Amino acid sequence: YSKKNWLPQPEKWGITNDVTKTIEIYLDGIMTHIDSNLIESKPFKVVLDLGNGAQAVTAPNFCKKLNCEVVLVNEQVDGKFPGRGSEPTPQNLSVLSKAVLENKADFGIAFDGDGDRSIFCDDLGNILTGDKSALILINHILKKNPNSLVVTCLNSGTNTETLAEKYNSKVLRTKVGSVEVSRKMLSTNALIGFEENGGFMFGKHNQVRDGCMSLGLMLDFLSTTENSLSQEISQLPPSFTTKDKIECSKENAKKIISLLKDEFPDSDTSDGIKITLDPKNWVMIRPSGTEPIIRIYAESTDLENLEALMTKFLQKVKSIISR
């Protein structure tokens, strides 16, 4: 800014205008990517947990445009996020789950504070992981757009590759973080990007996360099937994922990754360490970039194995920290 050659006495000044149709333009942009007529012909009942955040001014209007019956939760915009905090997690979405069941809704969706991430709830009240909802949307999109690229982080489930292969598509992995996914989407012209935390990116719309676009894609998908969302979820390849976190200094985080690398020398160390025991069983351990914690992610083929895997590596990490 300070190096700009500003004109001291310009002959003509610029003008300012009020933009009054920002939300309308945004919603119309999403509508161009979905079959609005088909969605309107199958009026859905949707519970929106707006999290006292940004989607409170867009998502309800979007659903009404599509003839959806809407039930609202945490609909008042409030920067203190009094309802359930700004982050939607399985632990704080019990109100959403209950509202879906009580209202016999087709599904529910919870947005984060700035409205770019979304966590879905199926018709049985089950809160879905970001991986599971992403697989539903990926299957829907790739069916129409085979031979495409999908970008996701190292800590997302391996069923992404399984599904992509079905449509002759390829998966590219990045370090953890939406910026990493967005950049890779831009450089490769990828159609889809997602994170396990509920961030989903549809390249035809924008190469960044957008919660309302995710909502539109889910409505678009459900309008094409007679199955409920829970029935569609049950047809996905079996996979179980989990994550946890432990307080940890930067020094201990480096020590943990170094010692685990010695024990598992063939591991991926491009972002923390990802230890792959076999194609469907892995653990990833990485320090947070913003907090003094270390995060642990894991995937396995069944719940019992997943719990054993997580317990084993949590103990390893705690043991290293206590040395």
Task: Say which CATH number the domain at 173 has.
Answer: 3.40.120.10
107 and 48 fall within a common domain? yes
Write the CB contacts of 299 (distance below 8 Å, at least 6 apart in sequence).
157, 158, 239, 240, 241, 280, 281, 282, 306
Amino acid at 207: Q
Residue 83, token pair as written in the block: 């309802």
Total tally of structural domains belonging to the chain: 2
116 and 202 fall within a common domain? yes
Question: Is 130 in contact with 297 (CB distance < 8 Å)?
Answer: no
Among residues 234, 268, 292, the one where a domain terminates is 234
Residues in the chain: 323
Segment 252-300, tens digit of pLDDT: 999 999 999 999 999 999 999 999 999 889 999 999 988 999 999 999 9
- pLDDT confidence of residue 72: 98
**Is 7 among the domain residues?**
no
Question: Is 244 in contact with 314 (CB distance < 8 Å)?
Answer: yes
pLDDT band at 218 (very low <50, low <70, confident <90, very high): very high
171 and 84 fall within a common domain? yes
Question: Is 91 in contact with 56 (CB distance < 8 Å)?
Answer: no
102 and 40 fall within a common domain? yes
Segment 15-20 mean pLDDT: 89
- pLDDT confidence of residue 90: 86
The CA angle 122-37-148, to the nearest 5 degrees, is: 65
- Whole-number percent of the chain with pLDDT over 70: 100
Segment 136-154, tens digit of pLDDT: 999 999 999 999 999 999 9
Residue 323 has pLDDT above 90, yes or no: no
Return the number of other C-beta atoms located less than 10 Å from residue 84's C-beta.
Answer: 20
281 and 179 fall within a common domain? no
Q: How does the average pLDDT of the chain come out, rounded?
A: 96
Residue 1 has pLDDT above 90, yes or no: no
The structure's pTM equals 0.92
Q: Provide the domain limits for residue 313.
A: 240-322
Residue 47 has pLDDT above 90, yes or no: yes
Among residues 183, 206, 234, the one where a domain terminates is 234
Element spanning 171, H or E: strand 170-174
What 3-state DSSP class applies to 211? helix
| Residue whose token pair is 């020398």 | 265
CATH at 302: 3.30.310.50
Residue 177, token pair as written in the block: 């973080």
Segment 53-58 mean pLDDT: 98
What 3-state DSSP class applies to 5? coil
What 3-state DSSP class applies to 285? strand
What are φ and ψ of residue 97, in 5° steps?
Answer: -60, -45
223 and 296 fall within a common domain? no
Segment 21-35 mean pLDDT: 96
Residue 146, token pair as written in the block: 């085979």
288 and 318 fall within a common domain? yes
Residue 6 has pLDDT above 90, yes or no: no
In the chain the first and final C-alpha atoms are separated, in Å, by 50
Task: Tell me the C-alpha distance between 72 and 194, whole Å.
Answer: 26
- pLDDT confidence of residue 2: 81
In eight-state DSSP terms, residue 62 is H
Among residues 219, 234, 249, the one where a domain terminates is 234
- pLDDT confidence of residue 117: 97
Return the number of other C-beta atoms located less than 10 Å from residue 305's C-beta.
Answer: 16
- pLDDT confidence of residue 55: 98
Element spanning 284, H or E: strand 281-287
Element spanning 49, H or E: strand 45-49
| Residue whose token pair is 């043991």 | 319
Task: Tell me the C-alpha distance between 117 and 194, whole Å.
Answer: 10
Segment 57-80, tens digit of pLDDT: 999 999 999 999 999 999 999 999
Residue 11 has pLDDT above 90, yes or no: no
